[in-house]
RNA sequence: GGCGAGGUAGCUCAGCUGGUCUAGAGCGCUGGAUUCAUAACCCGGAGGUCGAGGGUUCGAGUCCCUCCCUCGCCA
């Protein structure tokens, strides 16, 4: 069984879960669910990044230990992800021993190999924030603090450095030879562009100044006076979690999903570390762009972050699956940002979910009830009917969905399922079963066979559409399958699940349930739900 | 400043190596038809001098030059 390992970044535990965290994790979830449907042995990983110094600060302010603070906030992420219906196989926290001990081991290995060494760091220090700012940030603010506006100080300190520069050539060659290693392409260009300008070694540790929170974070294994920078140990999570006997099979990760702000670490620093550790590189580093809110960039100063509570409000009003569908298919998978706009949400909801999938399911089920007493009719085996070759039409969309997924094209993949729905609608309109039903005079009327065939075909096609939509809307697609009396996908893989009249195909005689509408149409001008 | 991406219908975008592009799709808008269905589905229509100007060519959204604008990245 092929393995498939998909990761999200681990999220800064001081954050409150918002649309950004949910979006990246949703992508991972949809992809993971698709691969499980395919029959792959999947590991989906998400988690929290907990060792930042500000965690100590916030914990102290709250009067609790860093661990207690982190526990509390990690729980908020878990709850948000549960609400979103995410199916992560593991949730890693960097404060866990399994992470700390192995990450520490990797650092030691790099020290031993000489890829990490003690050197001098010089940079712009912001005394108010107690942190260094990058040259470009310093320059952008005219060498004053971006927070307080007070002048920055040039400071020196002893740090351990990772010998990133040594990997410049290998990295460039690797990325050039593997066009799908960094995606989307615009991001790959950025990385290659920066690589051409040369690489400098990067600091990976900082001297511990005082006893506060002394047991928080990971110490340099060879020098306990230094604490490993969070970002570098955080990257290690992808490996620490699978560096066990039973999980080694998952490495290298198939795809690391992340937002564009942390591309550099994932596309350059992390691969270089893996090279230094003699580990194979992940298949793909995919950096998506951001969601903006109603056309405006989300920011703390505007206070317009779409937080989990607002997504909950949308979920309560339109269903969680509608939120998942909107985010996954309308999201910023490319290099440019996408807009979470209420009017757009309602448009997509109505057009694709209510008028599309929901309405189609409703008309098919309704006719089976009306004309066959709610029992799926026996149909002759004529799969090409009224100019529609159902096995190849549905098979084609299944195949296309697989292609789309292999490119992380969730918009395209999702629309394969909808395309089948559109085909069903068109088929109903051309064959007009509702008219046929009126012409039928008795149980022996030969038209009855056609009517049965039409409705069976509709139901079977709908089943396959639902199968393809399952990764996007696990509960709504499952509801469609249940309505049709189809079995939930078991073992066997997508080719079996989605095969026309295959092993999991609908069985004549099965009762078809007339449930409540899947997605009821919304008013275009109804106000946005609020948290 | 350096590197990169892009400006095509109201919106989101397809249009690869120049000629089925007298410019496409989806959504939105609008007219019609229909009734199995969630005022839905189906059919039709309006809407663009393809950022501006110049050039190459028998022919350019597609190639070249100049300019304008937007966006991304710079550890």
List chain A pLDDT tens, one digit each, 531 residues.
899 999 999 999 999 999 999 999 999 999 999 999 999 999 999 999 999 888 988 999 999 999 999 999 999 999 999 999 999 999 999 999 999 999 999 999 999 999 999 998 888 888 777 777 777 677 767 777 777 777 888 888 889 999 999 999 999 999 989 988 999 988 998 999 889 888 989 999 988 876 555 688 899 999 988 999 999 999 999 999 999 999 999 999 999 999 999 999 999 999 999 999 999 999 999 999 999 988 888 887 778 889 999 999 999 999 999 999 999 999 999 888 899 999 999 999 999 999 999 999 999 999 999 999 999 998 887 778 888 899 999 999 999 999 999 988 999 999 999 999 999 999 999 999 999 988 887 777 788 889 999 999 999 999 999 999 999 999 999 999 999 999 888 777 888 899 999 989 999 999 998 888 899 999 888 888 987
Q: Is residue A414 part of a domain?
A: yes
A305 touches strand B (CB under 7 A): no
The confidence score (pLDDT) of residue A389 equals 92
Task: Say how many Å lie between the first and final Cα of chain A, rounded.
Answer: 44
- What pTM did the predictor assign? 0.94
- Residue A44 sits at the vertex; the CA angle it makes with A1 and A187, to the nearest 5 degrees, is 105
Can you read off the two tokens belonging to residue A512? 């078809």
Which nucleotides of strand B come closer than 7 angstroms to any CB of the protein?
2-5, 11-14, 26-29, 35-43, 71-75
Q: Is residue A410 part of a domain?
A: yes
Give the nucleotide at minimum CA-to-C1' distance from A361: B37
A366 touches strand B (CB under 7 A): yes
Q: Is residue A348 part of a domain?
A: yes
- Distance, CA of A35 to C1' of B21, in Å: 39
Give the nucleotide at minimum CA-to-C1' distance from A189: B4
Q: Is residue A421 part of a domain?
A: yes
A300 touches strand B (CB under 7 A): no
The residues near A324 (Cβ < 8 Å, ≥ 6 apart) are: A26, A30, A84, A85, A472, A473
Q: Is residue A462 part of a domain?
A: yes
Q: Is residue A217 part of a domain?
A: no
- Distance, CA of A183 to C1' of B15, in Å: 22
A345-364 residues near strand B (Cβ < 7 Å)? 347-348, 350-351, 354-359, 361-363
Quote the number of domains for chain A.
Answer: 1
- Distance, CA of A363 to C1' of B42, in Å: 14
Can you read off the two tokens belonging to residue A78? 């878990």
Cα–chain center distance at A388: 35
The confidence score (pLDDT) of residue A101 equals 96
- Distance, CA of A231 to C1' of B68, in Å: 42
A189-218 residues near strand B (Cβ < 7 Å)? 189-190, 193-194, 197-200, 202
Helix, strand or coil, per DSSP, at residue A120:
strand
The confidence score (pLDDT) of residue A211 equals 58
Give the nucleotide at minimum CA-to-C1' distance from A198: B75
Give the nucleotide at minimum CA-to-C1' distance from A139: B74
- Alpha-carbon distances of A34 from A42, A253, A397, rounded to whole Å: 10, 16, 14
Q: Is residue A392 part of a domain?
A: yes
A370-389 residues near strand B (Cβ < 7 Å)? 370
- Quote the ipTM score: 0.92
A231 touches strand B (CB under 7 A): no
How far is the C-alpha of A349 from the C-alpha of A326, rounded, in Å?
Answer: 8
A71-130 residues near strand B (Cβ < 7 Å)? none
A260-279 residues near strand B (Cβ < 7 Å)? 260-261, 264
The H or E element that residue A397 is part of is helix A390-406
A334 touches strand B (CB under 7 A): yes
Q: Which of A290, A300, A296 is nearest to A341 (CA)?
A: A296
Strand ranges of the sheet holding A255-259, from the earlier edge strand across to the other edge: A90-93, A41-49, A3-12, A255-259, A285-288, A182-183
**At A410, which CATH number?**
1.10.730.10
A322 touches strand B (CB under 7 A): no
A429 touches strand B (CB under 7 A): yes
A439 touches strand B (CB under 7 A): no
**Helix ranges, A303-348 (H):** 308-318, 320-330, 342-348
Q: Judge whether A126 and A93 are in contact, CB under 8 Å.
A: no
Structural domain span for residue A445 = 313-497
A152-171 residues near strand B (Cβ < 7 Å)? 164
A434 touches strand B (CB under 7 A): yes
Q: Is residue A431 part of a domain?
A: yes
- Distance, CA of A337 to C1' of B25, in Å: 21
Give the nucleotide at minimum CA-to-C1' distance from A425: B41
- Distance, CA of A431 to C1' of B42, in Å: 12
């Amino acid at each position: 069984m092929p393995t498939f390992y998909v990761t999200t970044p681990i999220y800064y535990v001081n954050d409150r879960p918002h649309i950004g965290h949910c979006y990246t994790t949703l992508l991972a979830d949809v992809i993971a669910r698709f691969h499980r449907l395919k029959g792959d042995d999947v590991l989906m990983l998400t988690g929290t990044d907990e060792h930042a110094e500000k965690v100590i600060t916030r914990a102290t302010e709250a009067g609790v230990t860093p661990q207690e603070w982190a526990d509390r906030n990690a729980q908020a992420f878990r709850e948000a992800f549960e609400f979103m219906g995410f199916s992560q196989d593991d949730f890693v926290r960097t404060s866990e021993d399994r992470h700390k001990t192995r990450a520490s081991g990797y650092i030691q290995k790099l020290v031993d190999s000489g890829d990490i060494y003690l050197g001098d760091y010089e940079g712009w220090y912001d005394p108010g924030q107690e942190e260094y700012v990058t040259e470009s940030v310093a320059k952008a603010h005219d060498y004053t603090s971006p927070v307080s506006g007070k002048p920055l100080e040039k400071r020196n300190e002893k740090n351990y450095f990772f010998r990133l520069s040594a990997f410049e050539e290998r990295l460039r060659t690797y990325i050039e030879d593997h066009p799908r290693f960094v995606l989307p392409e615009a991001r790959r260009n950025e990385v290659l562009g920066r690589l051409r300008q040369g690489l400098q070694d990067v600091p990976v540790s900082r001297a511990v100044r005082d006893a506060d929170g002394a047991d928080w974070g990971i110490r340099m294994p060879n020098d306990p006076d230094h604490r490993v920078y969070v970002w570098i140990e955080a990257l290690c999570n992808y490996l620490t979690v699978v560096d066990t006997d039973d999980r080694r099979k998952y490495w290298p990760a198939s795809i690391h999903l992340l937002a564009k702000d942390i591309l550099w670490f994932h596309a350059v620093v992390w691969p270089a570390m893996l090279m230094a550790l003699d580990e194979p590189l992940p298949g793909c580093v995919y950096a998506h762009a951001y969601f903006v809110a109603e056309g405006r960039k989300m920011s703390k100063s505007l206070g317009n972050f779409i937080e989990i509570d607002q997504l909950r409000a949308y979920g309560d009003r339109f269903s969680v699956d509608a939120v998942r569908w909107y985010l996954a298919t309308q999201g910023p998978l490319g290099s440019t940002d996408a807009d979470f706009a209420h009017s757009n949400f309602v448009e997509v909801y109505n057009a694709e979910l209510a008028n599309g999938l929901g309405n189609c399911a409703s008309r098919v089920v309704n006719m089976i009830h009306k004309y066959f007493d709610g029992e799926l009719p026996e149909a002759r085996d004529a799969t090409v009917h009224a100019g529609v070759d159902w096995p190849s039409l549905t098979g084609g969309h299944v195949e296309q969905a697989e292609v789309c997924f292999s490119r992380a094209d969730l918009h395209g993949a999702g629309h394969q399922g909808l395309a089948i729905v559109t085909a069903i609608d068109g088929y109903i309109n051309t064959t007009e079963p509702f008219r046929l039903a009126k012409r039928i005079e008795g149980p022996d009327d030969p038209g009855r066979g056609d009517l049965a065939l039409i409705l069976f075909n509709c139901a079977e096609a709908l089943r396959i559409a639902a199968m393809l939509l399952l990764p996007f809307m696990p509960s709504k697609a499952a509801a469609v399958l249940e309505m049709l009396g189809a079995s939930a996908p078991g073992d066997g893989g997508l080719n079996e699940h989605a095969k026309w009249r295959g092993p999991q195909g609908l069985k004549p005689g099965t009762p078809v349930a007339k449930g409540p509408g899947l997605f009821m149409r919304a008013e275009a001008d109804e106000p946005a739900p609020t948290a």
